[in-house]
Amino acid sequence: MQKMFTKILLPVSFDRNIRWSVDKTIQLANKFGCDILLLHVQVPSSIPFLSNTFFSDPLAGYYKEDWEKKVKELELHYRSKLNEGLLLSSISLIGYWPVVLKDIIITKHIDLVVIPGNNRRFSSAEMQRININKLSQQTNCPIMTITRNFNANQLQKIVVPVHDLLPVKKLTIATYVSLETNGCIYLMGGDHHTTAGDKGYLIKAYQLLNDLGKLNIQCALRENDDTANSTLAYAKDVKANLIIVNPGQESRLRGWWNKLRGKYLNQESDIPILTVAF
Protein backbone atom coordinates (compact mmCIF):
# COMPACT_ATOMS: atom_id res chain seq x y z
CA MET A 1 0.00 0.00 0.00
CA GLN A 2 1.21 3.51 -0.82
CA LYS A 3 2.97 5.33 2.02
CA MET A 4 0.58 7.91 3.52
CA PHE A 5 2.61 9.66 6.20
CA THR A 6 5.99 11.15 5.28
CA LYS A 7 6.29 14.43 7.20
CA ILE A 8 4.91 15.11 10.68
CA LEU A 9 4.36 18.59 12.08
CA LEU A 10 4.53 18.97 15.87
CA PRO A 11 3.56 22.35 17.38
CA VAL A 12 5.62 23.07 20.53
CA SER A 13 4.74 25.69 23.13
CA PHE A 14 7.27 24.85 25.88
CA ASP A 15 4.63 23.94 28.43
CA ARG A 16 4.72 20.78 30.57
CA ASN A 17 3.62 18.68 27.59
CA ILE A 18 6.73 19.34 25.55
CA ARG A 19 9.03 16.45 26.50
CA TRP A 20 6.54 13.62 26.32
CA SER A 21 4.89 15.02 23.16
CA VAL A 22 8.25 15.13 21.34
CA ASP A 23 9.10 11.62 22.60
CA LYS A 24 5.76 10.24 21.38
CA THR A 25 6.06 12.00 18.02
CA ILE A 26 9.53 10.55 17.48
CA GLN A 27 8.15 7.12 18.32
CA LEU A 28 5.42 7.65 15.72
CA ALA A 29 7.91 8.90 13.13
CA ASN A 30 10.18 5.89 13.66
CA LYS A 31 7.21 3.54 13.31
CA PHE A 32 5.94 5.01 10.04
CA GLY A 33 9.25 6.30 8.64
CA CYS A 34 8.51 10.03 8.76
CA ASP A 35 10.50 13.24 8.99
CA ILE A 36 9.50 15.69 11.75
CA LEU A 37 9.13 19.47 11.70
CA LEU A 38 8.95 21.20 15.10
CA LEU A 39 7.02 24.48 14.99
CA HIS A 40 6.98 27.16 17.67
CA VAL A 41 4.75 30.20 17.26
CA GLN A 42 5.44 33.19 19.48
CA VAL A 43 2.20 35.14 19.88
CA PRO A 44 3.04 38.88 19.64
CA SER A 45 1.13 39.94 22.76
CA SER A 46 2.50 37.37 25.22
CA ILE A 47 5.73 37.32 27.20
CA PRO A 48 7.56 34.06 26.36
CA PHE A 49 8.22 32.97 29.93
CA LEU A 50 4.92 34.11 31.48
CA SER A 51 2.00 32.88 29.38
CA ASN A 52 -0.58 34.95 31.29
CA THR A 53 1.38 38.25 31.20
CA PHE A 54 1.09 40.75 28.36
CA PHE A 55 3.26 43.48 26.91
CA SER A 56 3.52 45.66 23.83
CA ASP A 57 3.92 43.89 20.48
CA PRO A 58 7.31 45.43 19.51
CA LEU A 59 8.95 43.52 22.35
CA ALA A 60 8.01 40.23 20.71
CA GLY A 61 10.83 40.68 18.22
CA TYR A 62 13.26 41.24 21.07
CA TYR A 63 12.60 37.72 22.38
CA LYS A 64 12.50 36.03 18.98
CA GLU A 65 16.18 35.04 19.07
CA ASP A 66 15.70 33.44 22.50
CA TRP A 67 12.82 31.34 21.21
CA GLU A 68 14.70 30.35 18.09
CA LYS A 69 17.59 29.22 20.27
CA LYS A 70 15.25 27.13 22.48
CA VAL A 71 13.63 25.45 19.49
CA LYS A 72 17.02 24.74 17.93
CA GLU A 73 18.28 23.23 21.21
CA LEU A 74 15.18 21.02 21.30
CA GLU A 75 15.85 19.90 17.74
CA LEU A 76 19.49 19.05 18.45
CA HIS A 77 18.62 17.20 21.66
CA TYR A 78 16.11 14.86 20.02
CA ARG A 79 17.60 14.42 16.56
CA SER A 80 19.65 11.37 17.55
CA LYS A 81 16.50 9.51 18.65
CA LEU A 82 15.16 9.33 15.09
CA ASN A 83 15.97 6.29 12.98
CA GLU A 84 18.79 6.64 10.49
CA GLY A 85 17.75 8.48 7.36
CA LEU A 86 14.90 10.41 9.00
CA LEU A 87 15.13 14.17 9.46
CA LEU A 88 14.23 16.46 12.36
CA SER A 89 14.05 20.19 11.65
CA SER A 90 12.51 23.19 13.40
CA ILE A 91 11.11 26.63 12.77
CA SER A 92 10.14 29.51 15.07
CA LEU A 93 7.81 32.27 13.91
CA ILE A 94 5.98 35.27 15.32
CA GLY A 95 2.25 35.14 14.66
CA TYR A 96 -0.92 33.37 15.71
CA TRP A 97 -1.23 29.60 15.93
CA PRO A 98 -4.25 29.00 13.64
CA VAL A 99 -2.89 31.22 10.85
CA VAL A 100 0.70 29.97 11.01
CA LEU A 101 -0.31 26.31 11.32
CA LYS A 102 -2.49 26.50 8.23
CA ASP A 103 0.28 28.16 6.22
CA ILE A 104 3.02 25.75 7.33
CA ILE A 105 0.90 22.65 6.71
CA ILE A 106 0.24 23.77 3.14
CA THR A 107 3.63 25.24 2.20
CA LYS A 108 5.73 22.51 3.86
CA HIS A 109 3.57 19.68 2.44
CA ILE A 110 2.75 18.24 5.87
CA ASP A 111 0.67 15.04 5.76
CA LEU A 112 0.19 14.50 9.52
CA VAL A 113 -0.07 16.96 12.41
CA VAL A 114 0.43 15.75 15.99
CA ILE A 115 -1.00 17.83 18.84
CA PRO A 116 -0.80 17.00 22.57
CA GLY A 117 -4.19 16.19 24.08
CA ASN A 118 -5.93 19.19 25.60
CA ASN A 119 -4.88 19.54 29.24
CA ARG A 120 -5.97 22.95 30.51
CA ARG A 121 -3.74 22.73 33.54
CA PHE A 122 -0.55 22.18 31.62
CA SER A 123 -1.23 23.57 28.13
CA SER A 124 -0.71 27.13 26.96
CA ALA A 125 -3.80 29.23 26.35
CA GLU A 126 -2.92 29.75 22.68
CA MET A 127 -2.52 26.02 22.01
CA GLN A 128 -5.93 25.41 23.57
CA ARG A 129 -7.51 27.74 21.01
CA ILE A 130 -6.44 25.63 18.02
CA ASN A 131 -9.63 24.39 16.36
CA ILE A 132 -8.62 20.95 15.13
CA ASN A 133 -11.86 20.38 13.24
CA LYS A 134 -11.57 23.65 11.35
CA LEU A 135 -7.86 23.21 10.68
CA SER A 136 -8.34 19.71 9.25
CA GLN A 137 -11.07 20.98 6.91
CA GLN A 138 -9.02 23.98 5.77
CA THR A 139 -5.87 22.00 5.04
CA ASN A 140 -7.23 18.52 4.26
CA CYS A 141 -4.45 17.22 6.53
CA PRO A 142 -5.03 14.48 9.16
CA ILE A 143 -4.54 15.75 12.72
CA MET A 144 -3.79 13.38 15.59
CA THR A 145 -4.26 14.33 19.23
CA ILE A 146 -2.06 12.16 21.42
CA THR A 147 -2.02 11.50 25.14
CA ARG A 148 0.70 10.56 27.60
CA ASN A 149 -0.16 6.86 27.31
CA PHE A 150 0.09 6.89 23.50
CA ASN A 151 2.24 4.11 22.05
CA ALA A 152 2.83 4.02 18.31
CA ASN A 153 3.78 0.35 18.56
CA GLN A 154 0.44 -0.59 20.10
CA LEU A 155 -2.12 0.70 17.61
CA GLN A 156 -3.80 -2.68 17.39
CA LYS A 157 -7.39 -1.54 17.93
CA ILE A 158 -8.60 1.19 15.60
CA VAL A 159 -12.21 2.38 15.87
CA VAL A 160 -13.83 3.92 12.78
CA PRO A 161 -17.45 5.18 12.98
CA VAL A 162 -19.49 4.70 9.80
CA HIS A 163 -22.80 6.54 9.55
CA ASP A 164 -24.42 8.58 6.78
CA LEU A 165 -21.80 8.10 4.07
CA LEU A 166 -19.00 5.79 3.00
CA PRO A 167 -15.88 7.35 4.58
CA VAL A 168 -13.32 6.28 1.99
CA LYS A 169 -10.49 8.48 3.25
CA LYS A 170 -10.98 7.35 6.86
CA LEU A 171 -11.05 3.74 5.78
CA THR A 172 -7.92 4.18 3.66
CA ILE A 173 -5.97 5.66 6.58
CA ALA A 174 -7.31 3.02 8.97
CA THR A 175 -6.16 0.34 6.53
CA TYR A 176 -2.71 1.89 6.25
CA VAL A 177 -2.29 2.12 10.04
CA SER A 178 -3.57 -1.40 10.63
CA LEU A 179 -1.22 -2.88 8.03
CA GLU A 180 1.74 -1.07 9.56
CA THR A 181 0.87 -2.15 13.11
CA ASN A 182 -0.79 -5.52 12.43
CA GLY A 183 -3.93 -4.12 14.04
CA CYS A 184 -7.68 -4.65 13.89
CA ILE A 185 -10.21 -2.20 12.45
CA TYR A 186 -13.42 -1.85 14.47
CA LEU A 187 -16.18 -0.48 12.25
CA MET A 188 -19.04 1.06 14.25
CA GLY A 189 -22.45 1.97 12.86
CA GLY A 190 -25.72 3.13 14.40
CA ASP A 191 -28.69 0.82 14.91
CA HIS A 192 -31.27 3.59 14.58
CA HIS A 193 -31.70 3.70 10.78
CA THR A 194 -32.85 1.22 8.18
CA THR A 195 -30.45 -0.80 6.06
CA ALA A 196 -30.45 2.13 3.63
CA GLY A 197 -28.81 4.22 6.35
CA ASP A 198 -26.06 3.43 8.82
CA LYS A 199 -26.37 -0.33 8.59
CA GLY A 200 -26.09 -0.21 4.80
CA TYR A 201 -22.99 1.96 4.88
CA LEU A 202 -21.46 -0.25 7.55
CA ILE A 203 -21.89 -3.28 5.29
CA LYS A 204 -20.40 -1.39 2.33
CA ALA A 205 -17.44 -0.29 4.45
CA TYR A 206 -16.84 -3.87 5.56
CA GLN A 207 -17.04 -5.15 1.98
CA LEU A 208 -14.61 -2.47 0.78
CA LEU A 209 -12.03 -3.39 3.44
CA ASN A 210 -12.60 -7.11 3.04
CA ASP A 211 -11.85 -6.88 -0.68
CA LEU A 212 -8.38 -5.61 0.19
CA GLY A 213 -7.62 -8.87 1.99
CA LYS A 214 -5.29 -9.56 4.92
CA LEU A 215 -7.22 -7.23 7.22
CA ASN A 216 -8.65 -8.02 10.62
CA ILE A 217 -12.09 -6.36 10.76
CA GLN A 218 -14.79 -6.26 13.43
CA CYS A 219 -18.25 -4.69 13.04
CA ALA A 220 -20.70 -3.40 15.64
CA LEU A 221 -24.04 -1.57 15.69
CA ARG A 222 -24.78 0.87 18.51
CA GLU A 223 -28.26 2.02 19.50
CA ASN A 224 -27.16 5.51 20.61
CA ASP A 225 -28.04 8.27 18.12
CA ASP A 226 -25.29 10.54 19.45
CA THR A 227 -22.30 9.82 17.25
CA ALA A 228 -19.33 11.24 19.20
CA ASN A 229 -20.40 10.02 22.64
CA SER A 230 -21.39 6.62 21.28
CA THR A 231 -18.07 6.33 19.45
CA LEU A 232 -16.13 7.11 22.62
CA ALA A 233 -18.18 4.63 24.67
CA TYR A 234 -17.61 1.88 22.09
CA ALA A 235 -13.89 2.66 21.88
CA LYS A 236 -13.61 2.32 25.65
CA ASP A 237 -15.53 -0.98 25.55
CA VAL A 238 -13.06 -2.53 23.09
CA LYS A 239 -10.05 -0.83 24.73
CA ALA A 240 -9.18 0.99 21.51
CA ASN A 241 -5.77 2.54 20.90
CA LEU A 242 -6.95 4.99 18.23
CA ILE A 243 -10.21 6.54 17.01
CA ILE A 244 -10.44 7.90 13.46
CA VAL A 245 -13.22 10.44 12.87
CA ASN A 246 -14.34 13.08 10.41
CA PRO A 247 -14.59 16.70 11.58
CA GLY A 248 -17.97 18.30 12.22
CA GLN A 249 -21.03 16.53 13.57
CA GLU A 250 -19.31 13.18 13.92
CA SER A 251 -16.79 14.72 16.32
CA ARG A 252 -19.13 17.02 18.27
CA LEU A 253 -20.04 16.01 21.81
CA ARG A 254 -23.64 15.76 22.95
CA GLY A 255 -25.54 18.62 24.59
CA TRP A 256 -26.32 22.26 23.90
CA TRP A 257 -23.58 23.45 26.28
CA ASN A 258 -20.91 21.47 24.42
CA LYS A 259 -22.26 22.77 21.13
CA LEU A 260 -22.15 26.34 22.43
CA ARG A 261 -18.55 25.95 23.60
CA GLY A 262 -17.49 24.04 20.50
CA LYS A 263 -16.50 20.92 22.44
CA TYR A 264 -15.28 18.02 20.34
CA LEU A 265 -14.21 14.44 20.89
CA ASN A 266 -10.50 15.21 20.69
CA GLN A 267 -10.81 17.54 23.70
CA GLU A 268 -12.32 14.95 26.02
CA SER A 269 -10.94 11.57 24.97
CA ASP A 270 -8.05 9.84 26.72
CA ILE A 271 -7.81 7.69 23.58
CA PRO A 272 -5.82 9.31 20.75
CA ILE A 273 -8.05 10.83 18.07
CA LEU A 274 -7.15 11.11 14.38
CA THR A 275 -9.33 13.72 12.69
CA VAL A 276 -9.55 13.20 8.93
CA ALA A 277 -11.32 15.62 6.58
CA PHE A 278 -13.62 14.18 3.93
Amino acid 269: pLDDT: 92
Q: Which domains does the chain have, with CATH numbers?
A: 7-146 (3.40.50.620), 155-275 (3.40.50.620)
For the four alpha carbons of 229, 234, 237 and 243, in that order, the dihedral sign comes to negative
The confidence band for 113, taking pLDDT boundaries of 50, 70 and 90, is: very high
HEC string of 188-227? EEECCCCCCCHHHHHHHHHHHHHHHCCCEEEEEEECCCCH
Which burial class, exposed, middle or buried, applies to 119 when counting CB atoms under 10 A from its CB (0-12, 13-18, 19+)? middle
CA separation for the pair 257, 211 (Å, rounded): 42
The confidence band for 174, taking pLDDT boundaries of 50, 70 and 90, is: very high
Looking at residues 148-175, what average pLDDT do you find? 92
Looking at residues 232-238, what average pLDDT do you find? 95
Amino acid 192: pLDDT: 54
17, 61, 74, 77, 252 from 65: Cα distances, Å: 22, 8, 14, 18, 40
